[in-house]
Chain A
C-alpha cells in the first residue's frame, strides 16, 4: 500500500529547489483536508513554488553533525498529582458543537458506502 503521506515526484528534483507541480499541490491539498477549487490550486502552485525555493536555503548551512533543535528551551516531562478537579459539564462541552444528540457530538458518516 502506498504511503499516503509521501509527496509525489522526485525527491532530488524537489530538494534542489525546483518549482512544485500542480499535481503535487493537489495532492498536498488532499493530505491537508482542503477541498480547494481549481483556480485556488493554480494560484497556490506558483506561490508555494516560490516559497519552497526560498526556504530551501536552509540546506546551504546545516551540516550533518549539527543536532536538531525542536524547542527553544530544554523540555522536561511535567507531572502533577492525579486528583479530581472540576471540568466542563456536558452542556458546556457541547455548547459550540455544530450538531449534538443525546449528549454526544453528532458527526457525518465516518465509513465509506462500500466499506
Chain B
C-alpha cells in the first residue's frame, strides 16, 4: 500500500486506526523525496535519521496511550523561514547558510506537539522576497506540472513538494501572496489566515505588519486541518490575536454556498490577464451561482494602487528588519582581517551574503524612509493602505466574500522574469490587497488554462477573522469541480520520472 498520494486526513485516519505507523508513512515519503526531488529541488534539507526518529517518537507516544492531535503521524514539509532547533534555517540566503537556531518557532513547536513529522526544510525566495523561488541562493525549484516552469514563490519549495507528492502538507508564509500564488500555479490549496491568527514567533521577519504563516495542501479539508493545528493565540507574538480560531475544519466539511453573497472584484481582469485564467475564473463564478450563491460585481476602486503601496511598505519594513544581519552575533562574516572596522565588515558581509532582490528591496526601503522622501513615499503608501481597507469594508457590507483570479497568469518559464523586477511583482497583483488589509484569503484550484494546460487558482477573500468563510466557499468549489473532473486536478499532472526506484 502506497501512502504518498493519500490526503493528510486519510493518513491521519490510517495512523489513528493503527493501520499504518508514522514510521511507515515517513519512510514512504522519504522514498518519494529520494526518487523525485533531484528533479524538483523542493527541499534544501532532509535528514532521514532525524525524520525517522521523529516518526518513531510519535509511534511511541501513540503506543503509550497519549491523546494526539487530528494530524498525528502525518508528514509535513516546512518552509525554511521557520526556526527549527534540529535543522538548519537559512531563508535560502547565503547570509544564514548553515545556521542552526537555538529555538523552535511557535508553529514548529505546535507541529511537533500535534504529532506531525517534519520531513525537512523547503526552498524559497531569499527571505521570502519573490514570486518564483528563483531568488533562492541555493538554486530554483521546479514546477512538477512542467519542470521548466516556476513553482511560484516565495513558498515555492513547499508548493512543489506537495504537488509532487513528497509531502501531503506544507507550511508557507504570505506577505504579498507567497502562499496563494505558489498554490495557484501548482494546483494546490493555499491559505493566508487573518493577520495575527497564526504566530510569527520564530518566523524570520521580512515585513512584520504583513507576514502571515499559513497552510498549503492538496485538499481544502487538509489545509483547514493544518490551519487549526498550528493557529491560535501565542503570548510570544504581541500581534497574535487572543480569540478562538475560526471554525475552519467545520466550514471545510460543510462545503456549501447556498444563499451566500459573492462579489466579483471588477478591477481584477482585462489587460495583462491570460485568457485561459479569465476563462477558468468565469466558469468558477458561474459554478458558484449554480450552487446557490448570489453573485454580484463589486468595485474596489483603490485595489489598483495596492501594488505600488505594497512595494513601498514591504521594502521599508524589510530594510529595517534585515538590519539585524550585521555579521556580529550569528550568520556570515566576511572580510574580518583584523584591520577592517565593524562597519566595513558589516557592509562587505551584507554585499556578499544578500542576493540581488534582497539588496534592491533594502535600498528601495531605505530610499522610501529617507528624510525628504518619507512623506511622498512611505507616508502616501500608508494612506493608500487605509483606502484599501475602506474598499474591503464597503465591499463586505454588500457581500460575504470577494472572488478574483489568484494570479494574472499561470506558471511562467524559469528565467523569464528573473532580472525584471517590475514584471515579477505583477504576479502578486490580486493577492496584495488582503495583506495590506489583513483579512483572510484562500486560493483553490479551478482548472487548467487552455493555452498551456497549467493550473489556475480561484482566490476567495473574506473579512478579518472570517477565515472559515473562505474554506466554506473553496470546499464547495472543490467538491463540484472534482465531480466534474472525476477526481482532483493534480491527477491530471504528468507523472514525474522516478529516477531511482
On A, residues with C-beta under 8 Å from B are 3, 5-7, 11, 14-15, 20, 25, 28-37, 40, 44, 47-48, 50-52, 54-63, 66-73, 75, 77-78, 80, 88, 92-93, 95-99, 105, 107-112
Residues of A within 8 A of B381 (CB): 55, 58
Taking CB as reference atom, which chain A residue is nearest B235?
Answer: A80
Are the CB atoms of A108 and B345 closer together than 8 Å? yes
Structural contact, A14 and B364, CB atoms closer than 8 A: no
Within 8 A of A (CB), among B300-326: 302, 305, 308-309, 311-312, 319, 323, 326
Indicate if the CB atoms of A96 and B422 lie closer than 8 Å: no
**Provided the pairs A72-B209, A73-B241 are in contact, do residues A29 and B311 lie with their beta carbons within 8 angstroms?**
no
Q: Is the CB of A110 within 8 A of B329?
A: no
Q: Is B2 part of the contact surface with A, judged by Cβ < 8 Å? A: no
* Known contacts A35-B350, A51-B360; 4 further A-B pairs (Cβ under 8 A): A33-B350, A48-B367, A61-B305, A96-B101
The secondary structure that dominates the B interface is: helix
Chain B residues positioned under 8 Å from A112 (CB to CB)? 341
With a cutoff of 8 Å between Cβ atoms, the chain B residues found around residue A20 in the complex are: 367
Contacts of A3 in B (CB 8 A): 371
Q: Which residues of B lie under 8 Å from residue A35 when comparing CB positions?
A: 344, 347-348, 350-351
User: CA–CA, A109 to B235, complex, Å?
Assistant: 38
B421 touches A28 (CB 8 A): no
B308 contacts which chain A residues (CB < 8 A)? 54-58
Q: Is B12's beta carbon under 8 Å from chain A? A: no
| B341 in contact with A11 (CB, 8 Å) | no
Interchain CB contact under 8 A, A98 and B327: yes
With contacts A31-B366, A51-B360, A99-B333 taken as known, whether A107 is within 8 angstroms of B342 at the C-beta atoms is yes
On whether the beta carbons of A32 and B319 are closer than 8 Å, the reply is: yes
B332 and chain A: residue at smallest CB distance: A98
- What residues of chain A lie closer than 8 Å to B369, measured between beta carbons? 5
Once the chains bind, are B195 and A110 in contact (CB under 8 Å)? Answer: no
- CB contacts under 8 Å to A, within B334-371, are 336, 338, 340-348, 350-351, 354, 356, 359-360, 362-364, 366-371
Do B360 and A44 touch (CB < 8 A)? Answer: yes
Expressed in whole angstroms, the Cα–Cα distance for A47 and B331 within the complex equals 28
Contact of A34 among B100, B195, B362 (CB under 8 A): B362
In the complex, the answer to whether B311 meets A5 with C-beta atoms within 8 Å is no
Pairs across A and B, CB under 8 Å, 21 listed: A6-B372, A7-B372, A11-B373, A14-B373, A28-B366, A33-B326, A34-B354, A37-B351, A51-B360, A51-B422, A58-B312, A58-B383, A59-B376, A68-B383, A72-B210, A72-B437, A96-B102, A98-B331, A98-B336, A110-B342, A111-B341
Bound state CA distance, A72 and B372, in angstroms? 26
> Count the B residues whose beta carbon is within 8 Å of the partner chain — how many?
78
> Of A61, A107, A108, which is in contact with the most chain B CB atoms at under 10 Å from its CB?
A108
Contacts of A5 in B (CB 8 A): 369-371
Q: Tell me the nearest residue of chain A to B351, going by C-beta.
A: A35
Stretch at the interface among B121-129, B130-138, B385-393, B475-483: B385-393
B30 at the interface (CB under 8 A from A): no
Shortest Cβ distance from B394 into chain A, in angstroms?
15
Say yes or no for B50: interface residue by CB 8 A criterion.
no
CA distance A60 to B305 in the complex (A): 9
**B398 within 8 A of partner (CB):** no
Is the CB–CB distance between B389 and A69 below 8 Å? yes
Tell me which residues across on chain B come within 8 A of A80, comparing CB atoms.
235
Chain B residues lying within 8 Å of A48, measured Cβ to Cβ, are: 360, 363-364, 367
Q: Which residue of A lies closest to B389 (CB)?
A: A69
Interface residues of B in 370-426 (CB under 8 A from A): 370-373, 376-377, 379-387, 389, 421-422
A57 pairs with B382, CB closer than 8 A: no
Cβ-based interface call for B279 (8 A): no
Instruction: Tell me if B103 counts as interface (CB < 8 A to partner A).
Output: yes
Residues of B within 8 A of A97 (CB): 329-330
- Name the one of A51, A66, A77, A88 contacting B364, with C-beta atoms under 8 angstroms: A51
One of A6, A51, A54, A58 near B384 (C-beta < 8 A): A58
State the CA gap A25–B369 with chains docked (Å).
Answer: 14
